[in-house]
C-alpha cells in the first residue's frame, strides 16, 4: 500500500499546514516481501528504487520522497515490488493535490448595533445577539465558518445555498448593561487553510439620559399666552441640559412644523443650556415646543414640552362719551352743565370677564376689572369733577385683555363755554321810512332782513331768523364779523299781508341770546297807473323825465301814445298773488301754466310788448318798429287798415316796401310822406307794382323813378317777366303767392329761374306740350313728376333729371324703368321715344298726362315707381335694378365695354339734337366719336325694349333668373348667393347708385362660346343636358326651364326655389359645377354620351349646334344647323336674332344697315342683335 504522508488527514489535499519541502511517501510491504526484493516508486517523473533489507522487512514499510509540485498541482505516487526472479507485483498508489491558499476574511455584522456606532442600546437589543457573517467571494460549499464570542463557539459548514445567499447567521446570549462584546469569525476550506479572523466589538449601554428642561422665552410672564407686546420677531426657546448630558449627545427641538437637531459640544455642556429659534405664528395659533436628548448609544430621554397660545389681537377700543355734551359739539353750555361731569364708557363686543378698563381724566384715574354684569350691560358710568368756564377736559379709556394686549385709547374732550352771546338787533330793509309800512316803491319783490350782531359775536355763531313758519339759519362768517351784520331775504308776500320777524344768536356751545323782533305791513298796488303793466316791471325810473316814475306814468316814454296802447300783450291785472312770489296772478307762469323761456316768472305770452325785439318794450321805445320813423310821428292810427297801428307797422301804406326804405320823405311833394304814399313818385304806377327794382339801371328804384315798360317787370327776378307770369293775378300752385312773386310757381321743388330757360329759349317748353316748364309738373313727359326727379343730374351727362329721359344713362328709357309692366309702357309710349304719346293721351294744364294721374290735374301719379330690388333707388335711377351684380346695361344688351353700368361712348353736355344722333345711326357710319347724349339725355344706342330671355314677363334687367333654369344670374356669373334670393348678399349702397359698394365689375361669361352668356343659357356647357337637370332640378318637358313656373313677387325667380333651392352640384368635386362640367362624374365618359346623345367629334358638346330660339340650348324640335355662317331666323322672347357668324361683324355690312333701320343693333358674342 502506498501513502502520501504529507496528506495527514488523508483527504487527498495537502494544505499549507501539511506541506513540507518534499512530498514524502510511505510504502507498506506485503507479507511475502523478502529482503533483496526491490521496491520501485515513481511520481510519473522521477523513479526511486529501494532494495529491501531485513530491517525493512521487520518494520514492514519503507519511505521515499519526491520534489513537491506547485500550489494547485496534484501528485500521484505508485509503487511495485520486483522479486529476485524478476516477478513484478501488482502496483499500489496514492494521490493528493496541493492546496496552499487560505480563504479570504469574512465580514461580521451585529444586527443589534443597528446604528453601527459600537453601542447596543435598549432600543436596539431584542433577545440574543444576532450575528451575520458575510461570505467572501472565494468561499465555496464545504468550507467551515467558526464564530466565537469568547465564551461560546459556533461552527457552520457552508452549503451551496449559503454560497448563493452570500451570508450565514448565528446567535449568542446577550450581555449585561456596561459589559462588552467581541465576536470573531474564521473561514476554513476543506484543505484546512483558515482565513485571518474577522472581529467586531460593541459595548452594552442600556441607560437613557435625563430629560432636558424647556422654556418659551417670549412668554415672559409664563401665563401660557404670547401677547402683542411679548412677541418680537421669531419665537426663542431655551433648553436646559441635564447633569448626565455629554458632549456628542443629540438634542432635538421641534414646534410641530419644523425640527432643530443639535449635537452637543463641550461648550454647550459647560453652559448648561442651548437656544433655538422658530418662526412665529398667527393670532389664536397654539404653539407647542418639545425637546428630547439622545445619547451616543441611541438611548433617548423623555420628551419635555412648553405650550403657549398666540393672542395678538388687541381689544377693540371702548367708546367714551361725556354725557353733558348732549349735542356732541365738544362744548358744554350753561344749559348742559348739571353738577359733576358724567362719563359713559361703551364696552366693545370682544371684551370678556377679567379684562381691565382704565379711565383717566388727567386729574384722576379709575381702574375697573370687568365683571359678568359689566359685560352684559356693555356700559359703565363714571364721574369726574366738573370744570369752570373756558376749561378743557379730556377723558381717555383703554381696555386691556388677560394677555396684556391693550386697545387704542378712546377719548372725548369738551370745552366749557358758560357765557351766552349778546342780543342782536333786527332791521326790515324794505321799510326804508322805518314806519312799519312797506309800499310799492320800497318793495322790490322780496323782503330783506338785516341782523346787527352784538359785540361778543364770533365766527361760527348761528343767527336764527323766523318769519312765521319759515325759519332760516345763517352761520356767522369772518366777513360778517367784519361788517357787523348778516342779511337774508324772504319771498314776496301777498298784497296787504303783514310781516313779523324774530331773531336770536346762538354760539357753537348752544348758548342762546335773548330774541329780537321786528314787524311791517305791506300796502301794495299791482298797477298804480292802470296801464296793465305791473308796477314791479315799470319800476320807479322816470324814462321821459317828466317827474313821474314810470309805474305812475301812463305814457312812460312820452311819445304821445299811452302805455296801455303800446302794451298790446298784457291782460288786465287781478291784484292777487296766490303763490306770494310778487307777480300778479294774471301774468304768473305758475298760475297761467304757459311758457316762460326767460325764467322771469312771467308767462311769455303776457310779457310787455316789444315789436322790434330790441330788448326795449314799446312803452319805453321811441321807435317801436325800428323803422327810423319815431312813434310820435307815426302815431297810433292804422293807415293801411291792416289791423296794425302805424307806430309798429313796418309797411304803413301796405305797398310791399318797408318803411325803413321809404322813410318819412315826400318824393312827389304831395304832402304825403313816402311811408304813407302808395305812389311815392306820382307816376301813376303803384309802389306795389314798381317795387324796389331798378330795371332801367339808372340808380333810382323804380317806385321813385319815371315809368318803364311793364313788360320788363320781373317781380321775383326769376328771368320770367311779369307779362309771362301774370301781373300778380296768377297763382298756379295756389300757395297764396302770385307767380310773378313766387320763386317756384308750380311747387315742383325746382326754382322757376332754373326752369325758365333751355338752350337759349325763354320761356322754355322742353317737352313741347304747350305747358311752360316753370309751371309744368312733368317737363320731359316721361310720366315721372319733376318733384320726384328734381333738378339733380344723376348720371352727370349735363342734362338735369327732370328733363332727362334716361336719368341713370343705362340705355333703358325711364318710362320703361318706371313701370314693371311692358304692356303698360307700350300703351303709354307706342313709339318708345321715352315720352308719353301726346296723340293718344291728354296733357292737362299742369303738364302731366292725365292717364298717369289720380285725377286730371291732381298732380299726383296713380302708380308706384318700380323698384325691383327694393333698395333705396327706384329702377330709373338704379344701375343694377335687380341687384344681381349684372349692370342693367349688360342685361338690356347695351354696349358697356368698361362695365361701369353706363352706356358706352357717352359724352356729357346734351349738345346734339336727337335728330342728328338718329341720323348718324341710320347712315350706317356711326363712329364712337359721333356718340353723344342728346338734349333729352339719351345716348345714340339707348332706348328699345329690354330683352326678356325666358319670356316670363320680367325683362332680364329685373329678372334674377333670366333664363329660368333655376340658377340665379348672380350664381351663373360666378358670385355667391347664400340665401338663393338672386340678390347680392349683405348689400350696401352708400353712394345711392343702386349698385353694391363692394361689387366688382362683372363681364358675364359664355362658357360654351355659343354666343349666349351663361345667365341666359339653359345649357351653359352645351353638352345637351340642361343646366336645370345638371343642378338637380326637374325638367319634364325638356325645354331647360323650370316646370310649373310661379312668380308671385315678380322677381323672375320661381317662388318654390326660394325655399327649395337648386344648388350648383359638383359630383366629382373637381371645383367645376356640373352644369359647366362636360364630364360631371369624372368617369371618362362625356355627359352628352352618358345622356344618350351622339358626339361625333368627341368634344363633349352637341354636334352641329342649332339654336333657333337663342336660349343656348338645342331642343329636340330644333333641326341641325347647316353651315357655320348660316343665319338662323328664330326670334326669342327678348326680340333678338342669332347670327351664327364667329368673329366681329363689320358695322358697314348691308345686313347691319337693315338691322339698324329696323331698330336692331350689334352686340358682342356670335353676332347677336337685339331690338
| Mean pLDDT, rounded, for 1142-1167 | 35
40, pLDDT greater than 60: yes
- Report whether pLDDT(425) > 70: yes
Greater confidence, 336 or 397?
A: 397
Calculate mean pLDDT across residues 20-44. 92
Instruction: Identify the pLDDT of residue 1114.
Output: 62
- pLDDT bracket for residue 494 (50, 70, 90): low
Q: Is the domain of 89 the same as that of 128?
A: no
228 is a domain residue: yes
Evaluate whether 49 touches 73 at the Cβ level (below 8 Å).
Answer: no
Q: Which of 384, 404, 403 has the alpha carbon at shortest distance from 394? A: 384
Determine the angle formed by the axes of helices 914-922 and 1150-1157, rounding to 10 degrees: 140
Lowest mean pLDDT among 394-403, 433-442, 566-575: 433-442
Name the average pLDDT for the chain.
Answer: 82
Band of the pLDDT at 899, cuts 50, 70, 90?
confident
Q: Which three cell numbers stand for residue 623?
A: 321807435
Q: Which residue has the higher pLDDT, 151 or 1104?
A: 151
* Cell numbers for 541: 325810473
Of the ranges 325-339, 531-545, 782-796, 841-855, which one carries the lowest mean pLDDT score? Answer: 531-545
Does residue 928 surpass a pLDDT of 60? no
Which pLDDT band, with edges at 50, 70 and 90, does 116 fall under? confident
> Which cell numbers hold the place of 44?
510519473
Residue 702 lies in a domain: no
Q: SS in 3 state form for 853-902? A: ECCCCCCCECCCCCCCCCCCCCHHHCCCCCCCCCCHHHHCCCCCCCCCCC
Residue 29 has, within 13 A of its CA and on its CB side, a CA count of 25
Span of 217-221, 759-763, 921-925 with lowest mean pLDDT: 921-925
**Shortest CA distance to 246 belongs to which of 216, 287, 205, 280?**
205
What is the spatial distance between Cα 955 and Cα 821, in angstroms, rounded to a whole number?
A: 9
**pLDDT above 80 (res 975):** no
Residues 326, 384 within the same domain: yes
CA pair distance 1037, 1029, nearest whole angstrom: 11
Element (H, E) at 236: strand 235-240
Flag whether pLDDT at 315 surpasses 70: yes
Q: What's the average model confidence in pLDDT over 512-529?
A: 79
Average pLDDT over residues 875-885: 89
Contacts of 338 (CB under 8 A, 6+ apart): 324
Burial 1122-1138 (b: 16+ CB within 10 A, else e): eeeeeebeeebbbbbbb
Model pLDDT, residue 1136: 36
Counting Cβ atoms within 10 Å, is residue 261 exposed (0-12), middle (13-18) or buried (19+)?
A: exposed
Separation between Cα atoms, residue 34 and residue 32, nearest integer Å: 6
Give the pLDDT score at 360. 95
Domain boundary among 204, 226, 256: 204
Asked which of 192-201, 272-281, 550-559, 1022-1031 is least confident by mean pLDDT, the reply is: 1022-1031
Rounded Cα gap, residues 212 and 242, in angstroms: 5
Q: Work out whether the CA dihedral 691, 696, 699, 700 comes out positive or negative.
A: negative
29 & 64 share domain: yes
Cβ-contact 1038, 1017 below 8 angstroms: no
| Same domain, residue pair 278 and 217 | yes
Q: Which pLDDT score, from 0 to 100, does residue 1153 have?
A: 35
Least confident stretch, 267-271, 313-317, 813-817, 975-979: 975-979
Q: What is the pLDDT of residues 808-829, one digit of tens each?
A: 999 999 999 999 888 899 899 9
- Name the CA radius of gyration of the chain, rounded: 68
CB atoms within 10 A of CB 336: 21
Same domain, 119 and 154: yes
| Per-residue model confidence as pLDDT tens digits over 130-140 | 999 999 999 99
- Higher pLDDT: 1094 or 151? It is 151
State residue 1059's pLDDT score. Answer: 52
- Please measure the distance between the N-terminal and C-terminal CA atoms of the chain and give it in whole angstroms: 151
Same-domain pairing of 193 and 218: no
Omega of the bond leading into 660 within 30 degrees of 0 (cis) = no
Which residues fall within 8 angstroms of residue 453, CB to CB, at 6 or more apart? 424, 461, 463, 476, 480, 481, 484, 485, 486, 505
pLDDT at 446 over 80: no
**Given a cut of 90, is residue 950 above it in pLDDT?**
no
Flag whether pLDDT at 428 surpasses 80.
Answer: yes
CATH number of the domain that residue 385 is part of: 2.60.40.10
**Per-residue pLDDT, 1030:** 79
C-alpha cell at 654: 301796405
With pLDDT > 70 as the criterion, what percentage of the chain qualifies? Answer: 86
pLDDT bracket for residue 1154 (50, 70, 90): very low
Task: Indicate if 303 and 356 belong to the same structural domain.
Answer: no
pLDDT per residue over 265-280, tens digit each?
Answer: 999 999 999 999 999 9
Asked whether residue 851 is domain-assigned, the answer is no
Residue found by looking up cell 333668373 in the block: 961
83 pLDDT band (50/70/90 cuts)?
A: very high
Q: pLDDT at position 1058, please?
A: 55
76 and 133 belong to one structural domain: no
Query: pLDDT (tens digit, 9 = 90+) per residue, 63-80?
Result: 999 999 988 899 999 999
Q: What is the pLDDT of residue 1061?
A: 53
Between 621 and 528, whose confidence is greater?
A: 621
- The rounded Cα 643 to chain-centroid distance in angstroms is 65
Query: Percentage of the chain with pLDDT > 90?
Result: 39
CA 547 – CA 541 distance, rounded (Å): 10
Task: Give dist(CA 866, CA 875) in Å, integer.
Answer: 6
Residue 663, domain member (yes or no)? no
What contacts 532, CB < 8 A, 6 or more positions away? 564, 567, 570, 571, 572, 573
User: Band of the pLDDT at 1126, cuts 50, 70, 90?
Assistant: very low
81 in the same domain as 53: yes
The last residue of one of the domains, among 391, 416, 441, is: 416
Higher pLDDT, 141 or 431: 141
DSSP string, 654-703: -SSS-HHHHTT--TT-SSS-GGG-SSTT-SSS-HHHHTT--TT-SSS-GG
Q: Which of 66, 98, 130 is the last residue of a domain?
A: 98
Of residues 919 and 264, the one with the higher pLDDT is 264
Quick one: pLDDT band at residue 524, thresholds 50, 70, 90?
low
Query: Residue with C-alpha cell 291782460?
Result: 571
CA 967 – CA 1053 distance, rounded (Å): 9
- Give the Cα separation of 180 and 357 in Å (integer): 69
What pLDDT, on a 0 to 100 scale, did the predictor assign at position 1146? 35
Residue 37 contacts residue 83 (beta carbons within 8 Å): yes
Owning domain of residue 246: 213-310
Instruction: Domain count for the chain, please give it.
Output: 5
For residue 489 the three cell numbers come to 331775504
**Residue in 252, 285, 387 with CA at minimum distance from that of residue 331:** 387
Most confident of 25-29, 331-335, 673-677, 702-706: 25-29
Query: What are the two backbone dihedrals, phi and then psi, of residue 522, each rounded to the nearest 5 degrees?
Result: -90, 120
Is 728 contained in some domain? no
- DSSP 8-state symbol, 791: S
pLDDT of residue 379: 93
Q: Do 265 and 199 share a structural domain?
A: no
Residues 152, 198 share a domain: yes
- Per-residue pLDDT at 925 exceeds 80: no
Strands 13-14 and 92-98: parallel
Residue 406 sits in the same domain as residue 325: yes
Confidence at residue 833, expressed as pLDDT on a 0 to 100 scale? 92
Amino acid at each position: 500500500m502506498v501513502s502520501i504522508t504529507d496528506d495527514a488527514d488523508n483527504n487527498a489535499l495537502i494544505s499549507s499546514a501539511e506541506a513540507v519541502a518534499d512530498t514524502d511517501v510511505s510504502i507498506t510491504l506485503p507479507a511475502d516481501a523478502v529482503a533483496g526484493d526491490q521496491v520501485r516508486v515513481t511520481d510519473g517523473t522521477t523513479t526511486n528504487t529501494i532494495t529491501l533489507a531485513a530491517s525493512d522487512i521487520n518494520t514492514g514499510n519503507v519511505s521515499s520522497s519526491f520534489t513537491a509540485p506547485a500550489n494547485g498541482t496534484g501528485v500521484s505516487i505508485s509503487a511495485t515490488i520486483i522479486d529476485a526472479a524478476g516477478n513484478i507485483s501488482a502496483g499500489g498508489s496514492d494521490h493528493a493535490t496541493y492546496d496552499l491558499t487560505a480563504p479570504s476574511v469574512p465580514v461580521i455584522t451585529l444586527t443589534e448595533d443597528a446604528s453601527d456606532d459600537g453601542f447596543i442600546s435598549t432600543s436596539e437589543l431584542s433577545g440574543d445577539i444576532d450575528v451575520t457573517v458575510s461570505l467572501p467571494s472565494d468561499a465555496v460549499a464545504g468550507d467551515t465558518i467558526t464564530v466565537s464570542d469568547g465564551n461560546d463557539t459556533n461552527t457552520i459548514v457552508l452549503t451551496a445555498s449559503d454560497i448563493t445567499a452570500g451570508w450565514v447567521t448565528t446567535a449568542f446570549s446577550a450581555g449585561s448593561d456596561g459589559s462588552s462584546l467581541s465576536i470573531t469569525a474564521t473561514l476554513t476550506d476543506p484543505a484546512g487553510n483558515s482565513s485571518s479572523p474577522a472581529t467586531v466589538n460593541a459595548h452594552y449601554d442600556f441607560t437613557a439620559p435625563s430629560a432636558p428642561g424647556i422654556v418659551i422665552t417670549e412668554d415672559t410672564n409664563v401665563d401660557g399666552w404670547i401677547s402683542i407686546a411679548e412677541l418680537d420677531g421669531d419665537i426663542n426657546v431655551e433648553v436646559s441640559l441635564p447633569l448626565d448630558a455629554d458632549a456628542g449627545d443629540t438634542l432635538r427641538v421641534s414646534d410641530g412644523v419644523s425640527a432643530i437637531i443639535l449635537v452637543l459640544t463641550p461648550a454647550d455642556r459647560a453652559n448648561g443650556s442651548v437656544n433655538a429659534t422658530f418662526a412665529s405664528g398667527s393670532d389664536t395659533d397654539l404653539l407647542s415646543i418639545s425637546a428630547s436628548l439622545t445619547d451616543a448609544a441611541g438611548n433617548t430621554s423623555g420628551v419635555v414640552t412648553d405650550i403657549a397660545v398666540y393672542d395678538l389681537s388687541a381689544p377693540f377700543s371702548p367708546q367714551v362719551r361725556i354725557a353733558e355734551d348732549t349735542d356732541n359739539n365738544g362744548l358744554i353750555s350753561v344749559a348742559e352743565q348739571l353738577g359733576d361731569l358724567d362719563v359713559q364708557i361703551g364696552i366693545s363686543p370682544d371684551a370678556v370677564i377679567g379684562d381691565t378698563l382704565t379711565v383717566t381724566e388727567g386729574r384722576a384715574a379709575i381702574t375697573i376689572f370687568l365683571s359678568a354684569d359689566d359685560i352684559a350691560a356693555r356700559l359703565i358710568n363714571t364721574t369726574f369733577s366738573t370744570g369752570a368756564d373756558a376749561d378743557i377736559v379730556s377723558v381717555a379709556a383703554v381696555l386691556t385683555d388677560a394677555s396684556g394686549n391693550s386697545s387704542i385709547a378712546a377719548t372725548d374732550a369738551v370745552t366749557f363755554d358758560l357765557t351766552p352771546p349778546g342780543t342782536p338787533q333786527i332791521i326790515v330793509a324794505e321799510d326804508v321810512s322805518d314806519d312799519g309800512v312797506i309800499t310799492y316803491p320800497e318793495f322790490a319783490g322780496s323782503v330783506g332782513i338785516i341782523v346787527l350782531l352784538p359785540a361778543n359775536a364770533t365766527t361760527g355763531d348761528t343767527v336764527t331768523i323766523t318769519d312765521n313758519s319759515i325759519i332760516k339759519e345763517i352761520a356767522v362768517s369772518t366777513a360778517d364779523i367784519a361788517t357787523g351784520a348778516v342779511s337774508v331775504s324772504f319771498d314776496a308776500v301777498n298784497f296787504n299781508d303783514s310781516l313779523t320777524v324774530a331773531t336770536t344768536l346762538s354760539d357753537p356751545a348752544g348758548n342762546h341770546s335773548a330774541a329780537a323782533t321786528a314787524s311791517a305791513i305791506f300796502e301794495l298796488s299791482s298797477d298804480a297807473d292802470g296801464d296793465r303793466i305791473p308796477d314791479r316791471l315799470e319800476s320807479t325810473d322816470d324814462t321821459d323825465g317828466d317827474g313821474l316814475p314810470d309805474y305812475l306814468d301812463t305814457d312812460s316814454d312820452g311819445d304821445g301814445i299811452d302805455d296801455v296802447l303800446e302794451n298790446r300783450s298784457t291782460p288786465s291785472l287781478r291784484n292777487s298773488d296766490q303763490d306770494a312770489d310778487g307777480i300778479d296772478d294774471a301774468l304768473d307762469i305758475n298760475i297761467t301754466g304757459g311758457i316762460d323761456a326767460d325764467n322771469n316768472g312771467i308767462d311769455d305770452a303776457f310779457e310787455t310788448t316789444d315789436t322790434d325785439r330790441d330788448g326795449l318794450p314799446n312803452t319805453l321805445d321811441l321807435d317801436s318798429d325800428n323803422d327810423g320813423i319815431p312813434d310820435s310821428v307815426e302815431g297810433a292810427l292804422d293807415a293801411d287798415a291792416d289791423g296794425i297801428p302805424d307806430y309798429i307797422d313796418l309797411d304803413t301804406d301796405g305797398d310791399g316796401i318797408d318803411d325803413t326804405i321809404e322813410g318819412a320823405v315826400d318824393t312827389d311833394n304831395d304832402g304825403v310822406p313816402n311811408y304813407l304814399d302808395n305812389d311815392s313818385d306820382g307816376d301813376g304806377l303803384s309802389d306795389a307794382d314798381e317795387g324796389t327794382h331798378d330795371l332801367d339801371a339808372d340808380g333810382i328804384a323804380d317806385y321813385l323813378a319815371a315809368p318803364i315798360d311793364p313788360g320788363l317787370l320781373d317781380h321775383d327776378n326769376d328771368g320770367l317777366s311779369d307779362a309771362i307770369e301774370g301781373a300778380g293775378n296768377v297763382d298756379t300752385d295756389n300757395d297764396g303767392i302770385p307767380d310773378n312773386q313766387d320763386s317756384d310757381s308750380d311747387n315742383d321743388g325746382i326754382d322757376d329761374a332754373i326752369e325758365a330757360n333751355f338752350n337759349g329759349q325763354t320761356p322754355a317748353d322742353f317737352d313741347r306740350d304747350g305747358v311752360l316748364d316753370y309751371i309744368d309738373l312733368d317737363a320731359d313727359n316721361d310720366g315721372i313728376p319733376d318733384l320726384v326727379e328734381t333738378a339733380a343730374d344723376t348720371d352727370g351727362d349735363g342734362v338735369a333729371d327732370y328733363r332727362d329721359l334716361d336719368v341713370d344713362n343705362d340705355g333703358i328709357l325711364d318710362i320703361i324703368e318706371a313701370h314693371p309692366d311692358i304692356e303698360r309702357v307700350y300703351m303709354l309710349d307706342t313709339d318708345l321715344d321715352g315720352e308719353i304719346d301726346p296723340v293718344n293721351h291728354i296733357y292737362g294744364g299742369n303738364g302731366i298726362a292725365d292717364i298717369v294721374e289720380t285725377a286730371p290735374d291732381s298732380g299726383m301719379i296713380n302708380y308706384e315707381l318700380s323698384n325691383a330690388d327694393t333698395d333705396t333707388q327706384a329702377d330709373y335711377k338704379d344701375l343694377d335694378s335687380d341687384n344681381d351684380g349684372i349692370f342693367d346695361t349688360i342685361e338690356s344688351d347695351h354696349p358697356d365695354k368698361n362695365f361701369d353700368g353706363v352706356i358706352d361712348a357717352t359724352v356729357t353736355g346734351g349738345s346734339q339734337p336727337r335728330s342728328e344722333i338718329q341720323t348718324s345711326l341710320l347712315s350706317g357710319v356711326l363712329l364712337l366719336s359721333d356718340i353723344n347724349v342728346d338734349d333729352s339725355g339719351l345716348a345714340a344706342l339707348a332706348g328699345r325694349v329690354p330683352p326678356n330671355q325666358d319670356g316670363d314677363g320680367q325683362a332680364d334687367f329685373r329678372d334674377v333668373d333670366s333664363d329660368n333654369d333655376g340658377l340665379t344670374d348672380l350664381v351663373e356669373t360666378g358670385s355667391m348667393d347664400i340665401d338663393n334670393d338672386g340678390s347680392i348678399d349683405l348689400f350696401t349702397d352708400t353712394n345711392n347708385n343702386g349698385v353694391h359698394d363692394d361689387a366688382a365689375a362683372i363681364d358675364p361669361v359664355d362658357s360654351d362660346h355659343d354666343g349666349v352668356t351663361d345667365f341666359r343659357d339653359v345649357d351653359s356647357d352645351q353638352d345637351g343636358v340642361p343646366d336645370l337637370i345638371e343642378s338637380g332640378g326637374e325638367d319634364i318637358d325638356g325645354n331647360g326651364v323650370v316646370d310649373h313656373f310661379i312668380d308671385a313677387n315678380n322677381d323672375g325667380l320661381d317662388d318654390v326655389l326660394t325655399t327649395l333651392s337648386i344648388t350648383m352640384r359638383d359630383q366629382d368635386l373637381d371645383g367645376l359645377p356640373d352644369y359647366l362640367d362636360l364630364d360631371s362624374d369624372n368617369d371618362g365618359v362625356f355627359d352628352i354620351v352618358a345622356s344618350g346623345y351622339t358626339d361625333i367629334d368627341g368634344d363633349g358638346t352637341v354636334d352641329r349646334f342649332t339654336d333657333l330660339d337663342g336660349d343656348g340650348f338645342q331642343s329636340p324640335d330644333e333641326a341641325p344647323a347647316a353651315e357655320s355662317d348660316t343665319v338662323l331666323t328664330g326670334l326669342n322672347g327678348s326680340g333678338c336674332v342669332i347670327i351664327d357668324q364667329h368673329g366681329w361683324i363689320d358695322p358697314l355690312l348691308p345686313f347691319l344697315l337693315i338691322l339698324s333701320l329696323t331698330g336692331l343693333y350689334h352686340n358682342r358674342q356670335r353676332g347677336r342683335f337685339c331690338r
